Structure 1
Amino acid sequence: MARRRGWGGSPPGDDEEAARRIIGAAVELIGRTGAEISIADVAESLGVIRQTVYRYFPSADALMTAAAIASVDGFLDRLAAHVRGLRDPAEAMTEAVVYTLTEVRRTPHLGILLSSSYSASAHTDSLTSEEAQAFGMTMIGRFDVDWAGAGYDEPALRELVEYALRTMQSFFLSPGDPPRGEDELRRYLRRWMGTAISAQAGEPR
């Protein structure tokens, strides 16, 4: 009887629907609180016991990652619109990094996927994970940049993604005191990161 009272009185039809509803609850809670949430929080919001959530997600970290991934499509659409028309690799990547660092403050789900702020000891390698790398490759694939014409083959693109992710990680972990504003950050990245990105055009493939 208790099980029927859970799930808002409408139990999921199968495991896929259950996982989807758990992720949806996590996304909603993160958006409302702007912070890390627990398995207990999600279970309570769904009216189920914690073991029900653990059946689909073995840890809070696994659930947070799933919730973050479920939230990035909208971000990628906004980012693509922001950098639309930028064909210079250095310019596009600079704007992408500035935009992402700014957007993370407004989109907790994205920060959970890209930063280690909510569990630094367990997630210092999160930006070099397969998920983060795939996210980065999807991101730059939507730019209006002729990557091949700029000297980037597949391995170089993957290294560029890693470089950009590591750059963002450094700002997540230590934004500065005081943190740079958007214009100041843009100048800094154009000078240092932009120079490195532009240098690829002259490198042998």
Structure 2
Amino acid sequence: MRSRGWAGSTPSSDEEAISRILRAVDEEVAENGAAIRLADVARRLGVTRQTVYRYFPNADALLMASGMRAVNGFIDQVVHHVSGLEDPVAVVVECIAFGVENLAGDPQLESLLTARNDGEAVTSLSSDTAISVCLTAFHQLEVDWELHGFDALALRDLAEMTLRTVQSMLTDPGEEPREGLALRRFVARWLGPAILYPRMASLSIYDRPASPDRHTEAERRTQVRPR
């Protein structure tokens, strides 16, 4: 690691350097909003832009790394919040509601989900990286996913659907954003049946052959036998 600059306090490792850079990004976003410049981050750290470039190629990469670090911390809060819940519908509904209620207005998240001035596409919460983070959280929960019919693919689909729902409700909350019980009822009503589907589809009754029609069977027994 290069040790020049850093306002007289040189990081002892690359990991510490990255942590300090991201902390500076957090401060910039909190004070000035998401439209940060790499030069401003470097100035706050007491280093040149070239020093920051060694770790991050551009300002968007800084925002992404800062946002993902914040998300990782938020995941711990979500897992703690739903501790003790074992029903998949209750867990997912509460995870979504908690996310929507606590991430709305977050400057770091807004910087990821809002289009840049140069027209660059918004960041998707359903990216492979985001889905992997969500899956990690799902595996920390107290839900027996396999018991409820979720194999690896189904659980990944659920993670994607969870993230898409959160992103949709954050970026377009509607004229009267739902919160509290109304938010949870809305999510449960429309996502609840989908969450129950893998369990229902795994039941053996769906594989049983259809039973004979009762009316047809009755007619057959009452037919007059030929003499």
TM over 0.5: yes
Find out whether 1:180 has 2:172 as its counterpart.
no
Shift of 1:18: 2.6
Higher helix share: 1
Shift of 1:103: 1.6
Q: Secondary structure at the match of 1:152?
A: coil
Find out whether 1:164 has 2:156 as its counterpart.
no
Amino acid at match of 2:114: S
- Higher RCO by CA contacts (8 Å cutoff, separation 6 or greater): 1
- Contact 1:117/1:172 (8 A) holds in 2: no
Q: Secondary structure at the match of 1:166?
A: helix
Shift of 1:104: 0.9
Find out whether 1:21 has 2:38 as its counterpart.
no
1:116 aligns with one of 105, 108, 113: 113
Amino acid at match of 1:182: G
Shift of 1:12: 3.1
Structure 2 distance, partners of 1:184, 1:66, is 33
Structure 2 distance, partners of 1:30, 1:105, is 15
- Contact 2:114/2:123 (8 A) holds in 1: no
With the length of structure 1 as denominator, give the TM-score of the two structures.
0.85
Shift of 1:29: 3.1
Amino acid at match of 2:158: L
Change (3 A) 1:28 1:138: farther
**Worse-matched range after superposition: 141-150 or 27-36:** 27-36
Shift of 1:93: 0.2
**Worse-matched range after superposition: 156-165 or 166-175:** 166-175
Structure 1 distance, partners of 2:136, 2:129, is 11
Question: How big is the alpha-carbon RMSD for the aligned residues of Structure 1 and Structure 2?
Answer: 2.5
Amino acid at match of 2:113: S
- Contact 1:31/1:107 (8 A) holds in 2: no
Structure 1 distance, partners of 2:121, 2:199, is 33
- Corresponding residue for residue 190 of structure 1: 188
With the length of structure 2 as denominator, give the TM-score of the two structures.
0.77
**Worse-matched range after superposition: 60-69 or 8-17:** 8-17
Unaligned residue ranges in structure 1 (runs of 5+):
none
- Contact 1:43/1:53 (8 A) holds in 2: yes
Shift of 1:125: 5.2
Structure 1: which 4+ aligned runs deviate by more than 4 Å? 31-34
Shift of 1:15: 3.8
Change (3 A) 1:11 1:125: closer
Find out whether 1:39 has 2:32 as its counterpart.
no
Structure 2 distance, partners of 1:123, 1:107, is 19
**Per-residue CA shift, 1:50-109, capped at 9, x if unaligned?**
232122111111111111222234322211121111111111000000101112136544
Amino acid at match of 1:143: L
- Corresponding residue for residue 79 of structure 1: 78
- Corresponding residue for residue 212 of structure 2: none
- Contact 1:65/1:112 (8 A) holds in 2: no
Matches within 5 A, 1:89-108: 89-105=88-104, 107-108=106-107
Structure 2 distance, partners of 1:183, 1:193, is 15
**Worse-matched range after superposition: 116-125 or 73-82:** 116-125
**Per-residue CA shift, 1:151-182, capped at 9, x if unaligned?**
00111100100111111121122110121123
Shift of 1:36: 4.4
**Worse-matched range after superposition: 10-19 or 173-182:** 10-19
Shift of 1:123: 4.3
Q: Greater Rg, structure 1 or structure 2? A: 2
* Number of matched pairs: 200
